[in-house]
Amino acid sequence: MTKFLINFTKFLIPFVILLIALELYVVYFPSTFNKKANYLQRHKDDIEVLVLGSSHNQNAINPEWMQLNCLNLANASQDIQLDEALFFRYATQLKKLKLVIFELDYFSLEEKNDATNFRLPWYKRFFDIEPYPISLLHKISIYSSQPSFFNKLLIDAANPRKTTYKLNQYGFITNDFPGVMEDLNYDTAKLLESAGERLHQKHTDTSLYNLNFNKTKLNTMLNYCVEKNIKILILSSPMYSTYVHNELAEKKERKQFYTDSLQKANTAFKYYNYETDGRFKVNDFKNDDHLNSAGAEKYSKIVDSLVKTALSSR
């Protein structure tokens, strides 16, 4: 029996080492999450502009092109509930915070993550927030939260044909071009022809419950900013025409009603909609609803101008 246990332990050791190596790679290899978390911890005393939102803002606003010290905490599939958790976890620690940029895109108000979202353990590990209870296993191991996702990352990293993404000090990807636009050589006719198949289920869910839930969360953050004399920008980021044409009228109307009511309630709530801004062409996008790095430079400079105007007004 003892010999069996010794042999079994020897058999397990390589797998344990492999799992530890995978975990260390996931946690410490430069990613948007750990780069942003590290920048936040190093620059708490200097950050003047905070960006929240989903992958739309994550891909669209590069702090490198902002004149003030900017932290972009937007991340893929980050909903308003996560925005609020991040905001109230760190707002009081950002002593120089002057302005917050909120994302309010077409889908924002009617989508909400549940406890099964595989990125939730990452928020616990890197930002110490826990909107839903995280299992002990997922607290210990980020890799365990979604092995298939990380396995694909590892396979892609080992493939010389795959793009090696470059992140700046803010955790922003500076060479983010691969996507359907590049795949189809920015051919507008082909993009239009294939849009129906590509977008027929894109952000089509509707939910009045989520709408009211998210409005309450967002209103809480907005009111806090007003109380603390922190300026507010509420933005809808640029979208390619195929995405805009796929939007549901009822969702657009509900969002429009909300933004109108905000601006009527308080002049501090500045809302700007860049969804159909003519300055953004097909070459500025990586896919139907995300800017590429060149488009992000263009948009970031526009947003920087908005920030300057907002902070100069009384």
- Cβ burial of 57 (10 Å; 0-12, 13-18, 19+) is buried
Residue 239 near residue 288, CB atoms below 8 Å: yes
pLDDT for 314 equals 64
pLDDT for 10 equals 59
Q: How much is the CA Rg of the chain, to the nearest whole Å? A: 21
pLDDT for 72 equals 98
Residue 46 near residue 76, CB atoms below 8 Å: no
Domain spans, the chain? 14-112+165-312
Paired tokens of 249:
């009228």
Give every residue of the chain whose pLDDT is below 70, as ranges: 1, 3-22, 28, 314
Q: Domain 14-112+165-312 is of which CATH architecture?
A: 3-Layer(aba) Sandwich (3.40)
pTM, full prediction: 0.92
pLDDT for 307 equals 97
Angle at 46 between CA 122 and CA 215, to 5 degrees: 55
| Sheet-wide strand order for 270-273 | 70-72, 49-51, 99-103, 231-236, 270-273
- Cβ burial of 29 (10 Å; 0-12, 13-18, 19+) is exposed
pLDDT for 7 equals 57
pLDDT digits (tens, 9 = 90+) for 85-103: 999 999 999 999 999 999 9
pLDDT for 225 equals 97
